[in-house]
């Protein structure tokens, strides 16, 4: 009698745990704090696969939502013509940096910088001054990170900060 009562208690406990576990419902990849316009950006990027503009906007939205992996997949799965766009390469470098791929980020930013420096003066639509300055600054920061051995910004925040400060320090000279 005592043994069957103990067995019944164990069976009851296991069945309660089993019922409480329930069926798992699907969960969104992005949290509820994401902008409602993200669906519109995804639809626009899907409708215009050969236009780099929607791809850049969607990748930036993913990065703002802290989903750098989605931005990397978006850029890598884009058509070769879209991947060749300088704005796409620039946003890809940011995604690579946030994913801990500093070498790939440095290579992408260097290609943007080379394309900006070799662009003819009349071709300002491909590389504007803001893009060139941003790429130049990010290349300097990434070079310092690679020199200091930082492989992942999130895993090594102190060394990332030192590399950032080292790359962005300025000296001021005043003549009197």
C-alpha distances in angstroms, 69 versus 73, 103, 125?
6, 16, 29
Residue 51 falls within a domain, yes or no? yes
Name which of 70-74, 75-79, 143-147 the model is least confident about. Answer: 143-147
Residue 5 falls within a domain, yes or no? no
CA angle 42–43–47, rounded 5-degree value: 120
* Domain count across the chain: 1
CB 49 within 8 A of CB 81: no
Residue 28 falls within a domain, yes or no? no
Residue 15 falls within a domain, yes or no? no
Spatial separation of the C-alpha atoms in residues 42 and 70, rounded to whole Å: 11
Residue 55 falls within a domain, yes or no? yes
Residue 131 pLDDT greater than 90, yes or no: no
Residue 99 falls within a domain, yes or no? yes
Domain boundaries, position 138: 35-167
Name which of 83-87, 132-136, 170-174 the model is least confident about. Answer: 170-174
Give all strands (DSSP E) within the chain, no chain letters.
none
CA-closest candidate to residue 161, choices 173, 174, 148, 172: 148
Spatial separation of the C-alpha atoms in residues 138 and 140, rounded to whole Å: 5
CATH code, 125: 1.25.40
Residue 18 falls within a domain, yes or no? no
Residue 133 pLDDT greater than 80, yes or no: yes
Residue 129 falls within a domain, yes or no? yes
pLDDT of residue 107: 92
Mean pLDDT across 126-141: 86
CA angle 137–142–148, rounded 5-degree value: 130
pLDDT of residue 4: 84
């Amino acid at each position: 009698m005592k043994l069957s009562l103990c067995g019944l208690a164990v069976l009851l406990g296991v069945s309660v745990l089993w019922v409480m576990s329930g069926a798992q419902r699907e969960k969104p990849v992005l949290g509820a704090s994401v902008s409602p316009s993200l669906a519109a950006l995804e639809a626009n990027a899907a409708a215009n696969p050969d236009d780099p503009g929607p791809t850049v906007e969607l990748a930036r939205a993913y990065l703002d939502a802290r989903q750098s992996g989605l931005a990397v997949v978006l850029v890598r799965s884009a058509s070769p013509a879209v991947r060749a766009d300088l704005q796409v390469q620039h946003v890809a470098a940011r995604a690579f940096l946030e994913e801990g791929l500093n070498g790939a980020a440095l290579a992408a930013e260097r290609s943007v910088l080379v394309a900006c420096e070799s662009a003819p003066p009349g071709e300002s639509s491909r590389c504007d001054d803001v893009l060139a300055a941003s790429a130049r600054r990010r290349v300097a920061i990434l070079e310092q990170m690679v020199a200091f051995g930082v492989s992942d910004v999130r895993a090594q925040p102190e060394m990332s900060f030192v590399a950032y400060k080292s790359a962005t320090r300025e000296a001021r000279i005043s003549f009197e």
